[in-house]
């Protein structure tokens, strides 16, 4: 490709950290470029007030020069359509901010240059020093698009680097340009009309802005610019009124004018020699992959594979992690003693184990999702499912989180990130934990085995199987109907569009897939992990300490009783554990809860299990075994036998079918999972949604159990 | 070039929604001012050729090919109905 002919000023001083913002259209290869420049030196943080992640990374530009690169959300123009896109304008409008970039690298899809240049011309008009990274040169060539890079550079007035970021081609050239002191662009692509100038100038001088176009953006966005004070916003508001400024009409006209200008400049730059007869390969693939029969079959095949991976394949590394944590716990417990050790092993290490255990599922699910996104298949999923999902206030992309939720809500909720629309994403996150996840299976197994007879139905089915199926369906319908209700309840000012680019199929870049996995695991471990460990420690305190010396007394009594009844050492330990748990804070709360949960058919023993199983639903089984003195590690059959002998105050069996059903229904609906709570907090960037979710799900569980128990008995 | 929101098509005017799969037309104007902003940014400029490329199995959304095969957009039928065509 041709060399740069623009004059380049002195190299940047070594030792200073340059700030570079990376910006471009969605699907223009921005993430690939970001990954190429920064590798694994990436950090994910927050922008205040929005749900998009703030991704930054450090790139070594020259041996002496490092730069901080910020990856901005993909956008088609500088006029934000969503809250998330607002972070772009907030960053690029405020020249006085410490975060203000020294220059921007604008990625553009070379095979679709016209549309990609729209954003470029807006940024150039803002007067930001810029480099145009002309990406996907290979795709352009395949499409018969030939670009005269030197001519383009003349026309746009900034350095243009032809590249193929996915393969790393052009990165070296880009780094050379990034190492130079770039001047602000001199070519202007759009001038506001004469009648707008009085208003624009007044804003410009009032705020001491460096150009008219920025002042025009102030007039457009003043209500949404976070760094303006209320007085400043009011000032612009008055001017807008006074001059009768019509933002929508102006923006439409500006876009049309810009396209006209771009068409003109591309006349001498782009030459298209298209062979018309050959249908694009993407279209041919689509005929199968979005076919009304094959399309859905293949899609459900992909979903099944994904589900299998999260459900079955992940279980092997999860077991290893489980055993590893248990081994370390054992090691610590045998070598040290004291209350702090108990805190360390049963509180902190158990919590850490609870965090690490999710890594296999998150990695596998995001490996799939990254491949689906990279290849362009995700756009087809949305395309095929939108009509169905929209009826329930969901989005075509909600299918992936909902199905993954059957394995585990934690990675499932994280995968809702691919849904761009805020409302659709919130609804998806909110209802996903209602899908019956794998942690509910132990609870379902114990209780169904206890009260549902093992009788065949219609020859091929089994009553227990049907009961289990019923619980899964109950969760599914609860999720769908809750979504429908939220569709009407949730008000949003943000208008929802479906309009999106339909990308061509491409092979996935494994490096990008790998980086996605690492990044997702890192954010989960460091951000949701904090909450999980904290809750784990609180639950440990509740279960291991009691008011006053109640715990010690209970232990002495239990031991005395055990000696009297001549119990074996193991039976004694089980009886002691049960007595201690009953007298702990958790036990006290369980007792206190009893009046509240008695209408559901639950007693204080179940109350304790409800509290401890907030760590994770399967803890229910362990707690119930402890409290019924069968020991933590008893198998399902032993627990069931013990539960079957439990009697109520009238001497009747305690676990009647109705009572068990009430408890099952409770576990279908109730939140009962600190990790879900933590991940919702992390994904929605606040406590509002996780708390609403917990309250809603627990309320739903309470109401449903109440209904079951009161109608049934 | 007509400004997107200024011209109001008559009821007999055809929109992209009325195209058959494989059929092309030329965009005349966009009749929903707010959605027009999004469509314009995505390249649905008055005067551009547009071809209905495919429909989802359930009839909605649809895909459009803009210009001379530059790129493909996917949008709902209700959104396509706001893109009016020249006679």
| Contact between chains at A248 and B59 (C-beta distance less than 8 A) | no
Tokens of A688: 């509002």
Q: Provide, rounded to the nearest whole percent, the portion of chain A with pLDDT above 90.
A: 35
Tell whether the model's pLDDT for residue A277 goes beyond 60.
no
- Quote the CA–CA distance of A612 and A535 in Å, as a whole number: 11
User: Mind listing the pLDDT tens digit for each residue in A201-231?
Assistant: 999 999 999 889 999 999 999 888 888 899 9
**Highest mean pLDDT, choosing among A1-5, A44-48, A620-624:** A620-624
**Contact at 8 Å (CB) between A116 and A28?**
yes
Mean pLDDT of A10-19: 64
Query: Which tens digit of pLDDT belongs to each residue from A427-486?
Result: 999 999 999 888 888 888 889 888 888 888 877 778 888 888 899 899 999 999 999 999
Please indicate, yes or no, if residue B67 is contained in any of the structural domains: yes
Tell me the H-state helices in A416-568.
422-431, 441-451, 463-489, 510-523, 529-544, 550-564
Query: Taking a C-beta distance cutoff of 8 angstroms, is the pair A617, A667 a contact?
Result: yes
Flag whether B69 is in a domain. Answer: yes
Please give, rounded to a whole number of angstroms, the shortest distance from the CA of B62 to a CA of chain A: 8
Domain that includes residue B53, residue range: 16-85
Which residue carries 């807008």 as its tokens? A240
Count Cβ atoms below 10 Å from residue A103 Cβ, excluding itself.
22
Predicted-complex ipTM score: 0.86
Tokens of A373: 């996104």
pLDDT confidence of residue B1? 42
DSSP letter at A439 equals: G
Q: Is the model's pLDDT at A532 over the cut of 90?
A: no
Q: How many cross-chain Cβ pairs, A to B, lie less than 8 Å apart?
A: 118
Please check whether residue B22 touches A, CB under 8 A.
Answer: no
Chain A: residues touching B (Cβ < 8 Å): 76-77, 79, 81, 111-112, 114-115, 118, 143, 248-249, 251-253, 255-256, 259-260, 272, 274, 280, 282-283, 286, 290-292, 295-296, 379, 382-384, 386-388, 495, 497-502, 504
* In contact, A21 and A70? CB cutoff 8 Å: yes
Q: Which residue on chain B is closest to A386 by alpha carbon?
A: B61
Torsion of CA A369, A439, A343, A569, to 10 degrees: -150
Q: What is the torsional sign of CA A186, A188, A193, A196?
A: negative
Burial of A472 (0-12, 13-18, 19+ CB in 10 A): middle
Q: What is residue A345's predicted lDDT score, i.e. its pLDDT?
A: 81
B3 falls within a domain: no
**pLDDT (0 to 100) of residue A257:** 94
Q: Show the domains of chain A with their CATH numbers.
A: 18-178 (3.40.50.300), 194-272 (no CATH)
CB-based contact A383 B61, cutoff 8 Å: yes
- Does A112 sit within 8 Å of B37, measured CB to CB? no
Q: Which residue of A has its CA nearest to B80?
A: A499
State the pLDDT at residue B2.
45
Residue B55 lies in a domain: yes
Q: Do B56 and A251 touch (CB under 8 A)?
A: no
Subunit contact B67:A384, Cβ cutoff 8 A: no
What confidence tens digit (pLDDT) does each residue in A490-510 have? 887 666 778 888 888 988 989
Decide: residue A528, CB within 10 A, 0-12 exposed, 13-18 middle, 19+ buried.
buried
Mean pLDDT (chain A, rounded): 87
Chain segment A547-572, per-residue pLDDT in tens: 888 888 888 888 888 888 888 888 88
Say whether B54 and A286 touch across the interface (CB within 8 A): yes
Chain A: residue nearest B75 by CA? A499
Q: What is the mean pLDDT of residues A369-373?
A: 87
Tell me, what CATH number does B75's domain have?
Answer: 2.30.30.90
Cα–Cα distance, A652 to A663 (Å, whole number): 18
Does B2 reside within a domain? Answer: no
* Total number of domains constituting chain B: 1
For residue A403, the model assigns a pLDDT of 84
Using the structure block, give the residue that is written with the tokens 């996935």.
Answer: A508
Q: Does B38 touch chain A (CB under 8 A)?
A: yes
Q: How do residues A662-693 score in pLDDT, each as one tens digit?
A: 999 999 999 988 899 999 998 888 899 999 99
Give me the pLDDT at residue A264, please.
92
Cis peptide, bond prior to residue A633, ω within 30 of zero: no
pLDDT digits (tens, 9 = 90+) for A88-105: 988 899 888 888 999 999
φ, ψ of residue A493 to 5 degrees: the values are -85, -20
- Residue B80: inside a domain, yes or no? yes
Contact at 8 Å (CB) between A298 and A285? Answer: no
Q: Which residues of A touch B63 (CB under 8 A)?
A: 383, 502
CB contact under 8 A, B79 and A498: yes
Helices (H), chain B: 33-41, 77-80
pLDDT band for position A234 (cuts 50, 70, 90):
very high
B6 inside domain: no
Residue B76 lies in a domain: yes
The answer to whether residue A53 scores a pLDDT higher than 80 is no
Q: What is the model's pLDDT at position A147? A: 92
- Name the stretches of chain B with pLDDT < 70: 1-12, 69
Contact assignment for A290 to B57 by CB distance below 8 Å: yes
């Amino acid at each position: 490709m041709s060399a740069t002919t623009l004059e380049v000023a002195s190299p940047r001083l070594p030792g200073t950290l340059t700030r570079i913002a990376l910006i471009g259209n969605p699907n223009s290869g921005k993430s690939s470029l970001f990954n190429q420049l920064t590798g694994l030196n990436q950090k994910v943080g927050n922008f205040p007030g929005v749900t998009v992640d703030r991704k930054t990374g450090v790139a070594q530009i020259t041996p002496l020069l490092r730069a901080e690169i910020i990856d901005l959300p993909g956008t088609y123009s500088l006029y934000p359509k969503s809250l998330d896109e607002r972070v772009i304008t907030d960053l690029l409008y405020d020249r006085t901010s410490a975060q203000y970039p020294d220059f921007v690298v604008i990625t553009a899809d070379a095979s679709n240059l016209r549309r990609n240049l729209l954003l470029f011309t807006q940024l150039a008009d803002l007067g930001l020093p810029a480099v145009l990274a002309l990406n996907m040169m290979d795709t352009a060539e395949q499409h018969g698009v030939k670009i005269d890079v030197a001519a383009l550079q003349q026309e746009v007035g900034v350095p243009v680097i032809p590249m193929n970021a996915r393969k790393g081609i052009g990165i070296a050239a880009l780094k050379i340009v990034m190492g130079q002191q770039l001047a602000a662009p001199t070519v202007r692509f759009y001038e506001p009309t004469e009648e707008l100038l009085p208003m624009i100038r007044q804003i410009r001088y009032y705020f001491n802005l460096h150009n008219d176009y920025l002042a025009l953006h102030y007039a457009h966005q003043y209500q949404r610019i976070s760094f303006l004070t209320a007085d400043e916003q009011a000032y612009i508001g008055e001017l807008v009124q006074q001059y009768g400024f019509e933002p929508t009409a102006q923006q439409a006209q500006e876009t049309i004018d810009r396209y006209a200008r771009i068409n003109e400049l591309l006349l001498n730059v782009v030459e298209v020699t298209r062979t018309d007869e050959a249908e694009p390969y993407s279209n041919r693939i689509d005929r199968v992959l979005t076919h009304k029969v094959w399309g859905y079959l293949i899609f459900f095949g992909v979903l099944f594979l994904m589900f299998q991976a999260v459900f079955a394949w992940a279980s092997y590394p999860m077991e290893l992690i489980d055993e590893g944590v248990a081994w370390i716990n054992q090691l610590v417990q045998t070598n040290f003693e004291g209350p702090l050790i108990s805190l360390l092993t049963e509180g902190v290490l158990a919590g850490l184990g609870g965090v690490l255990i999710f890594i296999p599922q998150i990695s596998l699910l995001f490996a799939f999702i990254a491949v689906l996104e990279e290849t362009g298949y995700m756009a087809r999923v949305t395309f095929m499912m939108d009509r169905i999902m929209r009826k329930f206030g969901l989005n075509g992309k909600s299918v992936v989180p909902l199905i993954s939720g059957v394995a585990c809500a934690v990675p499932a909720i994280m995968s809702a990130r691919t849904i761009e629309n805020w409302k659709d994403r919130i609804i998806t996150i909110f209802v996903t934990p209602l899908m019956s996840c794998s942690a509910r299976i132990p609870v379902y197994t114990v209780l169904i085995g206890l009260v549902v007879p093992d009788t065949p139905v219609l020859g091929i089915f089994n009553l227990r199987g049907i009961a289990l199926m019923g619980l899964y369906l109950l969760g599914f319908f609860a999720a769908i109907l809750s979504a429908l209700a939220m569709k009407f309840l949730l008000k949003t000012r943000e208008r929802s569009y479906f309009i999106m680019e339909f990308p061509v199929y491409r092979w996935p870049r494994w490096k990008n897939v790998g980086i996605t996995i690492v990044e997702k695991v890192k954010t989960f471990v460091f951000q949701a992990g904090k909450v999980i460990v904290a809750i784990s420690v609180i639950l440990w305190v509740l279960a291991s300490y009691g008011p006053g010396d109640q715990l010690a007394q209970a232990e002495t009594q239990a031991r005395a009783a055990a000696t009297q009844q001549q119990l074996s050492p193991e039976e004694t330990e089980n009886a002691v554990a049960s007595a201690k748990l009953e007298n702990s804070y958790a036990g006290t709360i369980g007792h206190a809860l009893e009046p509240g949960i008695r209408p559901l058919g639950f007693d204080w023993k179940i109350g304790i299990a409800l509290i401890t199983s907030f760590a994770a639903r399967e803890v229910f089984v362990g707690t119930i075994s402890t409290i019924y003195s069968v020991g933590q590690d008893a198998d399902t059959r032993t627990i069931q036998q013990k539960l079957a002998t439990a009697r109520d105050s009238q001497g009747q069996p305690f676990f009647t079918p109705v009572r068990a059903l009430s408890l099952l229904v409770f576990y279908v609906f109730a939140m009962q999972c600190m990790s879900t709570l933590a991940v919702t907090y992390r994904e929605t960037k606040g406590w509002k949604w996780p708390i609403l979710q917990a309250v809603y799900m627990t309320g739903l569980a309470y109401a449903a159990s109440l209904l079951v128990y009161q109608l049934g008995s | 070039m007509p400004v997107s929101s200024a011209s109001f098509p008559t009821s007999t005017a055809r929109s992209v929604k009325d195209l058959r799969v494989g059929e092309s037309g030329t965009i005349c104007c966009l009749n929903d001012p707010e959605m027009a902003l999004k469509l314009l940014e995505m390249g649905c400029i008055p005067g551009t050729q547009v071809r209905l490329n495919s429909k989802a199995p359930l009839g909605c959304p649809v895909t459009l090919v803009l210009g001379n095969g530059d790129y493909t957009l996917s949008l709902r039928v209700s959104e396509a109905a706001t893109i009016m065509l020249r006679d």
